[in-house]
Chains A and B, each alone.
Chain A
Amino acid sequence: MTVAVSLRAVSRHFGAVKALDAVDLDIEAGEFFAMLGPSGSGKTTCLRLIAGFEQPTSGHIEIFGERVEGVPPYRRSVNTVFQDYALFPHMNVIENVAYSLMLRKVPKAERLKTAEAALDLVQLGGYGARRPGQLSGGQRQRVALARAIVNKPKVLLLDEPLGALDLKLRESMQEELKSLQKRLGITFVFVTHDQGEALSMADRVAVFSDGRIRQVGTPEDIYQRPDTPFVADFVGSSNVLPPDLVERLAGVRRFASLRPEAIRLGGEARLTGTVVARSYLGPVTRLAIEAVGLKLHAIVPSGADLPGEGDTIGLGFDSVALHLMGTEP
């Protein structure tokens, strides 16, 4: 497998703030890769380092085997879809899409043909003469996408690509982005703070916090087998059980993660707790339970016989559902 983007001990410090701290990362060619983390975790800085908008304080970055430290953005075969789309307001749609071709002095007829083909690819054929201001948010997003892929970059970077869209549009765009990536065969790297988006779209996910990568793996790895309490909590809001409780339950003094959906009501009770809140989510119901001094969440199938607030209940789960992690919080 070819490595598309490789980071070796890359740090980016802003004064005393370590936005990115000694990060190692390999993104494979043709991969749909997600960088997931809360705001301020360093994921966007990481994307900007690959794009060339930032330079690393230390460490090396390679794009398809070429060292790119000190190489300006306009000499990298990487293109970006910006969070605010950054469409040029004084140009119409086709001029926006053909901008990079115009800079490369592609003849006008060929330029327009290539740009129109890129617009077709994002299902905006025939919109060339409009101004960005006349388009809806979803359409602008597509123009930004067409503009970024028109040049066939080796890597496409997407900064919170779906952040500004409403829920319905976000879901359809997710599928579209995935199929576009398959058709083009370009490596996609996208930044998101939405764990659902990362899990559903990406081949692999890197979880960032405090300028470091906490875990890299497939969505299943990240969700089922988190390495640290942070990953367990951030990806899918798992219940993180402290070492002393885990010692009592499993005989090992380590942190453990217990998915809310792994908790059963009834059966053999391994913990007892009191329901403090109940929210109905349609097919499932989410319970907040206070047990052994912790606040736990359980997601159970909705039904008529669910306990209400204040009820004391027994909680059961299979031993395999208790995923053991390290001893560090």
Chain B
Amino acid sequence: MRSDGDRAPLLLRLAAAGGLVYLLAPLAIIFVYAFTTEEKSFVWPPPGLTLKWFAVAWARPDISAALLLSLQVAAVATALALVLGTLTAAAVSRTRFFGRETISLLVILPIALPGIITGIALRSAFSTFSIPFSFWTIVLGHATFCIVVVYNNAVARFRRTSASLVEASMDLGADGFQTFRHVILPNIGTALLAGGMLAFALSFDEVIVTTFTAGQQQTLPLWMLEELIRPRQRPVTNVVAMFVVAATFLPILAAFYLTRGGDEIAGSGK
């Protein structure tokens, strides 16, 4: 029986606060160092604060090249994942065939597999078939896990959408394409958007698989890794880090809000 409303005990609240500090303090330090005046090493507390690193980061061509590549890879990998992931989800949830459960498991496998295994496997596959490393090898590497994210979202939504909606649409005179456009897409749209945003965010900050599948090209995370090893203007890395946090966090937040709620099964109206 709770006597004083829903307030948690003091100890629990302290523990929760401690957990949050543990999770977020390093992030805050990264942000603070983006404004420091000391460029050779990180000194705490920062001797002075400045905004000049934002201008420096903006002007450096290696950063903009890496950023552009990352955005392109993420966009193409996400597009590929949206098409393949949705089709696979539709096949698995709408039909019954021999090996359906196995396929479902195999599609999810890449995300359970350590990135390093995926990376090595792809690298050796590319060299076996003498495929030169390029923009497309990075995209293929990223697509392996992007598909899973889209697939998972789409499968969950398909499961919550009554199968008779498709039949009702066909019954009322819609062919396959019209049914997809007027009934299926509006019902799975937010799930695809959410899956796509997650996939984009995952691809945008991917390091391990990219290391194995990129040739001389640098995506933004690879550029950051190199900056840590061979720093030139240290705080610039922190400025980029802030940008990456924003670029990945906002889509994930949006995806969360888009798929939240809607627990009722679409179309089963009893």
A309 interfacial by beta-carbon distance below 8 Å: no
0/1 per residue, B168-210, Cβ < 8 Å to A? Answer: 1111111100100011001100000000000000000000000
In contact, B167 and A151 (Cβ under 8 angstroms): no
- List CB contacts (< 8 Å) of B134-177 with chain A: 162, 164-165, 167-175
Given contacts A82-B164, A86-B267, contact A151 B173 (CB under 8 A): yes
In contact, A104 and B173 (Cβ under 8 angstroms): yes
- Cα A102 to Cα B268 in complex, Å, equals 23
The smallest beta-carbon distance between B182 and chain A, in angstroms, is 7
Q: Give the total of B residues in contact with A, Cβ under 8 Å.
A: 23
- List CB contacts (< 8 Å) of B241-262 with chain A: none
In contact, B172 and A79 (Cβ under 8 angstroms): yes
List of A residues within 8 angstroms of B183 by Cβ: 88
List of A residues within 8 angstroms of B175 by Cβ: 72, 74
The smallest beta-carbon distance between A153 and chain B, in angstroms, is 9
- Cα A216 to Cα B171 in complex, Å, equals 27
Which listed residue (A72, A88, A133) contacts B168, Cβ 8 A?
Answer: A88
In contact, A82 and B172 (Cβ under 8 angstroms): no
A132 interfacial by beta-carbon distance below 8 Å: yes
- Cα A72 to Cα B169 in complex, Å, equals 12
Given contacts A74-B173, A88-B183, contact A133 B270 (CB under 8 A): no
A314 interfacial by beta-carbon distance below 8 Å: no
B266 interfacial by beta-carbon distance below 8 Å: yes
In contact, A74 and B269 (Cβ under 8 angstroms): no
Q: Taking beta carbons and an 8 Å cutoff, which residues of A are in contact with B?
A: 51-53, 72-74, 78-80, 82-90, 99-100, 102-104, 132-133, 135, 137, 140, 147-148, 151, 164
17 contacts across the A-B interface (CB closer than 8 A): A52-B171, A79-B172, A82-B164, A84-B269, A84-B270, A86-B164, A86-B165, A87-B269, A88-B168, A89-B187, A89-B266, A90-B266, A100-B172, A100-B173, A103-B178, A137-B270, A140-B269
Q: Taking beta carbons and an 8 Å cutoff, which residues of B are in contact with A?
A: 162, 164-165, 167-175, 178, 182-183, 186-187, 264, 266-270
Known: A82-B164, A82-B168, A137-B269. 19 other contacts (CB 8 A): A73-B167, A74-B171, A74-B172, A74-B173, A79-B172, A80-B167, A80-B168, A86-B165, A87-B267, A88-B165, A88-B168, A88-B169, A89-B187, A99-B182, A103-B173, A103-B182, A104-B173, A148-B171, A164-B270
